[in-house]
Structure 1
Amino acid sequence: MKNNKLVMIMTVMLVAILLVGTVSVVAVMKLTDADGEKEPSIEKVLEASVDIPEVTTNLASNDFIKISFKIETDSKKAKEELEKRDFQVKNLIIYELSEKKAEELQGKEGKMNLEDTLKSKINDLMQDGKVKKVYITGSILQ
Structure 2
Amino acid sequence: MSYDRNLSTYRETSVMGSSREQLVPLLYEHLLVNLKRAAAQIRQGDLEGKAQSFSNASAIVYELLAALDFDRGGELASRLASLYAFWTQEISDISRTLDLDRLDQLIELVQPLHESWVEAARAAGQERAAGGAA
Shared fold (TM-score greater than 0.5)? no
Structure with more helix by fraction: 2
Structure with more strand by fraction: 1
Larger Rg: 1
TM-score between the two structures when normalised by the length of structure 2:
0.28
